[in-house]
A = this chain, B = another copy of it.
């Protein structure tokens, strides 16, 4: 089916049929605006991300369902990084004439599948024509009690630096795609990242992180955002960086300096956070109870900048500086 035959309102109808009714949604898709009921005592968390064909994704190496899931996941990751509970999503699409109604339906199915998995409801957005490139813009509204929300500016000297999961797989997956590989665990991580929504919420509700961010631009760049906002520096130990078995086996084949993929590759969508040393026992208990995987990788310093050292204390040089957007 050509999208021109289905029309904008036909597409919106098909999208609306994918969305089950949800508590808190007074008016959903199909009005001038959605109307949602905020949780008593909670603040609203608002985040937007835009994904542009040829810049953020390549239709030759992803499929529409994965693209839909990833577009929502990167926004859920931002809510997770605040310690929030994601609730509602708005999906805006600028659609070039080359894409079929089936393609767009699969993309939307990817968004609604991911939404369902994380208890989030699609309540609105916009659809319009694009001349050439597909553009997706997603806004997610989340909630959390104000005393549990975690910003970027709370890190203090002496605190420890932690990260969830493993680093570098996504950047490795991108290298593999560029080299012609089509299937690997790292490619899955790149095309279909899993936002750490439960981890973010549990950490925040346990009162553990003093500052938190999701790793989208690369570990060093995103740690830099915390340090800038908090007015301090950090020392990291390179041997502590959590790397997956697949990464350890494979990364050297795709990059002369595998550590750079883990430090500056980006799109890991893991949570990077700081916490006082005295909260480490509470963190260990939370990890034991929930299966959460968290690794301590360094320490916040009063001296600005990031210093990377190996196990023996010798400085390690890194050339990567994170993803540049322009």
Contacts and interface: CB of A to CB of B under 8 A. Distances in A.
A55 interface: yes
13 contacts: A3-B326, A31-B229, A32-B82, A33-B79, A35-B82, A37-B146, A44-B44, A46-B88, A46-B141, A48-B92, A56-B128, A128-B325, A130-B133
Interface in A123-151: 123-133, 135, 137, 139-142, 146, 149, 151
A67 B43 CA distance: 31
Given A26-B149, A55-B129, A139-B139, A44 B50 contact: no
B38 A38 contact: yes
Contacts of A153: 31
A133 B140 CA distance: 24
Contacts of A43: 26, 35-38
Given A48-B92, A92-B50, A135-B94, A152 B31 contact: yes
* Interface size range of chain A in the complex: 35 or more
A49 B149 contact: no
Given A44-B44, A47-B32, A132-B132, A325 B8 contact: yes
Given A48-B90, A135-B137, 19 more contacts: A8-B324, A8-B325, A26-B149, A27-B151, A32-B79, A33-B78, A35-B44, A35-B46, A36-B43, A36-B44, A46-B141, A50-B92, A52-B131, A53-B131, A54-B131, A94-B135, A97-B326, A129-B325, A129-B326
B49 A92 contact: yes
Interface in A1-52: 3-4, 6-8, 11, 26-27, 30-38, 42-52
Contacts of A130: 52, 55, 133, 135
Contacts of A33: 45-47, 78-79, 81-82, 84, 140, 142
Nearest to A87: B44
B35 A45 contact: yes
Contacts of A139: 46, 48, 90, 139
A241 interface: no
B133 A131 contact: yes
A197 interface: no
Contacts of A124: 46-48
B152 A50 contact: no
